Amino acid sequence: MTFLKVAVVLWVTLAAAGAEIFDWKGEPLREVKLNTVAFRGWVPEGTTPLRGVLVLIPGRHGDGRGMAEQKPWQDLATQTGFALIGCQFSDGDPFLYQQDEAGEVAKAIDTAVSQLALLSKHPELENAPLAFWGTSAGSNVSARYCALNPKRVVAFASSKGTSGPRETSQEAYEIPMFFALGAKDKPEWLAESKTNLEKGTQKGAPWTVALSQSEGHEVGESLQPIYPFFKAAIEMRLAVSGGQKASRPLGNKKAAWVKLQKIDPKQGWLGNPDTYEVARFKDFKGAKSSAVWFCNEEVANAWKSYVQPK
């Protein structure tokens, strides 16, 4: 089955500072009963080659294409050498695409990345690593992609998902993930998320859980710690030996590309979820088994600002 064909290229235009924006639509996804599949891509100016793609997925049946034009996401993409894809999955069954049992949505995302590589004339994106951000249903779609294709995922951040990763593998446990939760969210969603996230953190997965006491299911201020998380996680995963940045991304078949690096949690920071004190892993005085893990000091301080009662 062809999971995604480009039906229409709606427009290509020059955005701020000469960066390009691309809009296109795909065919309906029949297995998950979705009729509207659309994407907007953004490529930063002057970044060649690009290192990967950050995929942005909104809540249930939402239109996330506009996020590709939001300055904070574009700034992050420019800093990391990534392109952006904002997604719209709507008009149909509200739940099947979140479960994605046959991997139809995941294949549509892969094909969308290939289409952006073609439209933007950045062939290195064809098999480049991906990072994911999702909220609510978009978090579930992202988590499912991580379960299906863990070797391709650099990092994943969730704003108020409804369950956390329901199923995963040892390879998926190696993906750095950030989960922003709201204490005022639906109790059943919060409880399931905590249960599933504990499975990962108990296995030593480089996962960060940030529970805001003042927020519910809305995105709220959760992006404030997520932006530095992505920046740090991408650099850690695309680093080469000796701590240098990877000069080329994964994906160009004509070159020997660096593999995604496995993170050593001992190189990060830890935080006390009760006192909000943070310190380097080696200097942390509390119980490491119950501490929250962070990529670096910037992420630790952003977490502290987000979760500490105002």
SS (HEC) of 209-245: EEEECCCCCCCCCCHHHHHHHHHHHHHHHCECHHHCE
pLDDT of the residue at 259: 81
- Tens of pLDDT, residues 253-300: 444 345 899 999 999 999 999 999 999 999 999 999 999 999 999 999
Summarised one tens digit per residue, pLDDT across range 172-207 is 999 999 999 999 999 999 999 999 999 999 999 999
What sign does the dihedral 108-109-114-115 (CA atoms) show? positive
Side-chain half-sphere CA neighbours of 274 within 13 A: 4
User: Looking at the domain assignment, is residue 277 inside a domain?
Assistant: no
Is the pLDDT reported for residue 252 higher than 50? no
Give burial (CB, 10 Å; 0-12/13-18/19+) of 281.
middle
Residue 308 lies in a domain: no
Split at pLDDT 50, 70, 90, the class of 65 is very high
Is 180 among the domain residues? yes
Scanning the chain, the segments in alpha helix (DSSP H) are: 71-80, 96-99, 104-120, 137-148, 187-202, 223-237, 297-307
Q: Which domain holds residue 208?
A: 8-265
> What is the pLDDT confidence band of residue 2, given thresholds at 50, 70 and 90?
very low
Residues 6+ positions from 43 with CB-CB distance below 8 Å: 19, 20, 22, 50, 83, 84, 116, 120, 122
pLDDT of residue 236: 96
115-129 per-position pLDDT tens digit? 999 999 999 999 999
Burial of 283 (0-12, 13-18, 19+ CB in 10 A): exposed
Mean pLDDT score of the chain: 89
Does residue 289 lie in a domain region?
Answer: no
Phi, psi of 196 (to 5 degrees): -70, -35
Structural domain total, the chain: 1
Q: How confident is the model at residue 46 (pLDDT cuts 50, 70, 90)?
A: confident
Instruction: Write b or e for each residue in 123-158: b if 16 or more Cβ atoms lie within 10 A of its Cβ, otherwise e.
Output: bbbebbbbbbbbbbbbbbbbbbbbbbbbebbbbbbb
User: What is the average pLDDT across 45-70?
Assistant: 95
Question: Residues 6 or more apart from 243 whose CB is under 8 A from it?
Answer: none
68 SS3 class: helix
pLDDT tens digits for range 84-99: 999 999 999 999 999 9
In angstroms, the CA 269 to CA 301 distance is 10
The answer to the question of residue 281 being in a domain is: no
Residue 14 has φ and ψ, to the nearest 5°, of -85, 130
Tell me the whole-structure pTM to 2 decimals. Answer: 0.90
DSSP three-state, residue 158: strand
Cβ atoms < 10 Å from Cβ of 191? 12
- Is residue 175 domain-resident? yes
User: Is 1 contained in some domain?
Assistant: no
- Report residue 47's pLDDT band, with 50, 70 and 90 as the boundaries: confident
Instruction: Give the CATH number, domain containing residue 120.
Output: 3.40.50.1820
| % of the chain beyond a pLDDT of 90 | 82
In a domain, 284, yes or no: no
Phi, psi of 108, rounded to the nearest 5 degrees: -65, -40
pLDDT exceeds 90 at position 239: no
